């Protein structure tokens, strides 16, 4: 069969994935305009090298509700009333912080001391559990959209951060155009836009590998397999025909973004991703999203220690080592300026959610949870006490706060286990007993809280050894 150009297994898998998306969409009361109750949406945003704050160069000060935000996070002053700064979550404490943490930041389940896996290739260890995005989407029976704006390193098209219930890596869309064509473009037709393009986008998604001559492919199967195949085709065609030219979930044609271009500059690609996520949340095609942000932006402006304005990496072409690892005071300022640019992009996105009215009549940001994180705190590889910025009011989050979580001294850990566990479940304590303090809480504690706020029940997340107690956000 394969020699005749038809892969039945791949075909049925493709239909199954697309049918799952479509079934969730048409079963959504929000998408079909049948409810005034708004669901919680979740967006996770990992930034390569972290968001630039570290305890040696920028600390929060003040009280929980009256505080000063340090550089380079200072841009969040514009939306301070939407934010909760969760200050002091520890991550992995062994191995190369970048490589291990990519697999761990959303799973909290990477076995202690392991190296590269067969699945992920060089550098990246394999977790023993799913990522929080998959957990929430699977528990609620909703779709997750994973998109990538240059979030990659070591030759991979994207860093491995998302995993399913079998610890299999979940793919990202690596261009806004592909994400649009596969998922968002059909809304053009449902909102009274380009009907033919909408139907074609759906069918292209379902039948790309069959080409245009589906009848020819049907001749290659017979009996019960043919009957099953025909039933799938009938169901999918019926599904396509149900995209009626009327508003869905409150969407109108002018709310559907234009199709993104190909090979765009990273800034435009990010803007298109943000808009796709906003529309997907509003239309309820997806309630969970992950946007990986990489280091590719090159034209940020920053001011050096002499007060001179600079543009980009003035030290060479290796951003990772020359800027993110900042071996001088000016390189540190360059890194802060770079991270600050990404803060401005997040602020713009949050502003767009503030002016988008959800199905319940409230701003979309009130029903959304955004969590900003990174594999390390900064290029210094510190994972002992990272800041996670939580934005939005989904699940009843009480915003406008700085949560200064307790630390633990390396030599006197106050009964808190600091370390990890291996695949057998054995606990392995970290031998570090010097230097900076550790966060008492692991990022697993935050993911327990986030899952519950999204409506996904969970008692603990990741390895048991990483769980202390949930973070109080409400």
Answer yes or no: is pLDDT of 199 > 50.
Answer: no
Does 473 reside within a domain?
A: no
φ, ψ of residue 291 to 5 degrees: the values are: -120, 105
Beta carbons within 10 angstroms of residue 84's beta carbon: 24
**Do 65 and 211 sit in the same domain of this protein?**
no
Distance of CA 111 to the CA centre of its chain: 22
Pick the more confident residue, 204 or 90: 90
Q: Domain boundary residue among 261, 282, 308?
A: 261
Does 471 reside within a domain?
A: no
Does 254 reside within a domain?
A: yes
Q: How far is CA 244 from CA 57, 76, 144, 188, in A?
A: 56, 41, 24, 10
Q: Domain boundary residue among 230, 245, 261?
A: 261
- pLDDT recorded at residue 35: 66
**Do 435 and 400 sit in the same domain of this protein?**
yes
Which domain covers residue 257, as residue numbers?
Answer: 1-30+192-261
**Do 163 and 236 sit in the same domain of this protein?**
no
What token pair was written down for 334?
């360059």
Answer yes or no: is pLDDT of 453 > 70.
Answer: yes
pTM of the model: 0.84
Assign 420 a pLDDT band (cuts: 50, 70, 90): very high
Does 180 reside within a domain?
A: no
Q: Look at the chain and report how many structural domains it folds into.
A: 2
The torsion angle over the Cα atoms of residues 414, 415, 416 and 420, rounded to 10 degrees, is 140
In this prediction, residues 334-345 reach a mean pLDDT of 95
Assign 402 a pLDDT band (cuts: 50, 70, 90): very high
Answer yes or no: is pLDDT of 387 > 70.
Answer: yes
DSSP summary character for residue 323: I
pLDDT tens per residue, range 111-144: 999 988 989 988 899 999 999 999 999 999 999 9
**Do 150 and 293 sit in the same domain of this protein?**
yes
Q: How far is CA 19 from CA 142, 155, 206, 308, 465, in A?
A: 12, 33, 9, 56, 38
pLDDT tens per residue, range 143-190: 999 999 999 987 788 899 999 999 999 999 999 999 998 877 666 655
**Do 301 and 422 sit in the same domain of this protein?**
yes
Q: Percentage of the chain with pLDDT > 70? A: 79
In this prediction, residues 87-94 reach a mean pLDDT of 90
Helical pair 132-140 and 443-453, crossing angle rounded to 10 deg: 20
**Do 394 and 373 sit in the same domain of this protein?**
yes
Strands (E), 47-174: 61-62, 67-68, 83-90, 144-149
pLDDT tens per residue, range 37-51: 899 999 999 999 999
As beta bridge partners, residue 429 has: 419
- pLDDT recorded at residue 188: 61
Q: Domain boundary residue among 234, 261, 288?
A: 261
- pLDDT recorded at residue 131: 98
Q: Which of 74, 48, 62 is nearest to 347 (CA)?
A: 74
**Do 104 and 77 sit in the same domain of this protein?**
yes
**Do 213 and 171 sit in the same domain of this protein?**
no
**Do 316 and 399 sit in the same domain of this protein?**
yes
- pLDDT recorded at residue 298: 93
pLDDT tens per residue, range 277-305: 999 999 898 999 999 999 999 999 999 99
Lowest mean pLDDT among 95-104, 221-230, 402-411: 221-230
**Do 198 and 60 sit in the same domain of this protein?**
no
**Do 309 and 432 sit in the same domain of this protein?**
yes
**Do 280 and 252 sit in the same domain of this protein?**
no
What token pair was written down for 238?
């019926």
What token pair was written down for 117?
């896996």
Does 187 reside within a domain?
A: no
Does 181 reside within a domain?
A: no
Does 128 reside within a domain?
A: yes
CATH number of the domain bearing residue 116 = 3.40.720.10
Does 474 reside within a domain?
A: no
């Amino acid at each position: 069969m394969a020699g005749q150009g038809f892969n039945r297994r791949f075909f049925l898998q493709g239909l199954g994935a697309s049918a799952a998306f479509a079934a969730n969409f048409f079963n959504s009361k929000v998408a079909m305009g049948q409810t005034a109750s708004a669901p919680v949406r979740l967006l996770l945003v990992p930034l390569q090298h972290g968001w630039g704050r570290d305890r040696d160069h920028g600390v929060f000060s003040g009280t929980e509700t009256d505080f000063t935000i340090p550089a380079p996070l200072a841009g969040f002053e514009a939306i301070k009333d939407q934010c909760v700064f969760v200050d002091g979550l520890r991550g992995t404490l062994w191995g190369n912080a970048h490589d291990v943490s990519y697999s761990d930041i959303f799973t909290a389940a990477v076995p202690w001391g392991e190296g590269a896996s067969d699945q992920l290739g060089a550098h990246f260890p394999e977790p023993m559990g799913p990522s929080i995005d998959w957990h929430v989407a699977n528990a609620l029976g909703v779709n997750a959209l994973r998109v990538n704006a240059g979030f990659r390193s070591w030759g991979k098209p994207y860093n491995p951060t998302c995993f399913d219930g079998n610890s299999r890596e979940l793919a990202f869309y690596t261009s806004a155009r592909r994400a649009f064509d596969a998922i968002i473009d059909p809304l053009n037709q449902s909102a009274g836009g380009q009907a033919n393009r909408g139907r074609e986008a759906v069918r292209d998604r379902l039948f790309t590998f069959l080409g245009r001559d589906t009848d020819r492919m049907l001749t290659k199967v017979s009996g019960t397999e043919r009957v099953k195949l025909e039933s799938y085709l009938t169901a999918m065609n019926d599904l396509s025909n149900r995209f009626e030219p009327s508003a869905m979930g409150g969407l109108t044609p002018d709310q559907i973004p234009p199709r993104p271009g190909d090979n765009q500059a990273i800034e435009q690609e990010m803007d298109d991703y943000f808009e796709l996520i906003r529309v997907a949340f509003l239309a309820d095609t997806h309630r969970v999203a992950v946007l990986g942000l990489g280091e590719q932006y090159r034209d940020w402006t920053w001011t050096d220690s002499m007060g001179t304005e600079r543009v980009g990496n003035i030290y060479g072409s290796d951003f990772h080592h020359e800027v993110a690892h900042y071996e001088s005071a000016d390189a540190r300022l360059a890194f802060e300026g770079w991270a600050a640019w990404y803060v401005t992009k997040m602020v713009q996105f949050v502003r767009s959610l503030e002016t988008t009215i959800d199905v319940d009549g409230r701003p979309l940001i009130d029903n959304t949870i955004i969590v900003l994180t990174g594999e390390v705190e900064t290029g210094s590889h510190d994972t002992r006490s990272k800041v996670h910025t939580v934005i939005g009011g989904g699940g009843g989050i009480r915003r406008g706060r700085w949560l200064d979580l307790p630390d633990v001294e390396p030599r006197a850990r106050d009964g808190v286990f600091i370390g990890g566990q291996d695949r057998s479940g054995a606990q392995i304590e970290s031998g570090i007993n010097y230097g900076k303090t550790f966060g008492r809480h692991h990022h697993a504690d935050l993911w327990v809280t986030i899952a519950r706020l999204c409506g996904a029940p969970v008692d603990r997340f990741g390895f048991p050894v990483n769980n202390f107690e949930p973070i109080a956000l409400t």
